Amino acid sequence: MVAGHLSELRAKWGWFVALGLLMVMAGAIALGNLVLSTVVSVLYIGVMMAVSGGAQVIHAFQVKTWGAFAFWLLDGLLFLAAGLVCIFVPMVAAEFLTLFLGVSLIIGGAFRLVAAFQLRPADGWGWIAFSAAIAVLLGIEIIAGWPVSGLWVLGLLLGIDLVFNGIAVLFLGFGLKK
């Protein structure tokens, strides 16, 4: 089964190469203007949240006899409100999301560090500890620069993700060509 799909993918190797190049270019553009990339990211998140929240509010009224009407309605209204904040004041939302990201990195890194030391006799535990330390340091760096870091961190992460994902897809395409 896998061999059949692989031959299909090999026939389409050029599409992977094109997609990879497009993603690398999009990542380069994002890295070229971090503030704009941050705003666009927050606007995208805001639109998705507002649409989802609005749909959930409508859904609440469709199932109001079910008994959980208030929960569906409140959840939908919260999502809608958060989405509208992202749309109408994207820089404030970016600052909040960046602060949340920094705190999450520190807490997640601390948890991972504890897990690494619990794995200590196992091979590779040091890599877990290393990744935990990097997460904590990134979180500290983000928070130390906050609120200014809210202007560029999300755009930087988007750009880096696009570039690395694009390179991976590009190499996959070239690998499929062989």
CA quadruple 104, 135, 28, 171: dihedral positive or negative? negative
167 has a pLDDT exceeding 90: yes
Q: Which has more pLDDT, 11 or 74? A: 74
Cα 68 from Cα 72, distance rounded (Å): 6
- In this prediction, residue 177 carries a pLDDT of 85
Span 21-49, pLDDT tens digits: 999 999 999 999 999 999 999 999 999 99
Tell me the average pLDDT of the chain: 91
Give the tokens for residue 145: 């620069």
- Strand ranges (E), 43-157: none
Buried b (16+ CB within 10 A) or exposed e, 35-48: eebbbbbbbebbee
Contact 55, 76 (CB under 8 A): yes
Residue 67 has pLDDT above 60, yes or no: yes
Q: Which of residues 174 and 9 earns the better pLDDT score?
A: 174
Identify the band that residue 151 occupies on the pLDDT scale cut at 50, 70 and 90: very high
Q: What is the pLDDT of residue 69?
A: 86
Average pLDDT over residues 40-69: 91
Which tens digits make up the pLDDT trace of 99-150?
Answer: 999 999 999 999 999 998 998 888 888 999 999 999 999 999 999 999 999 9
Q: How far apart are CA 178 and CA 171, in angstroms?
A: 11
How many Cβ atoms from other residues are within 10 Å of residue 100's Cβ?
11
Q: What is the model's pLDDT at position 123? A: 84
User: pTM score, two decimals?
Assistant: 0.75
Taking CA atoms, 55 is separated from 41, 82, 84, in Å, by: 21, 14, 14
101, 146 contact by CB (below 8 A): no
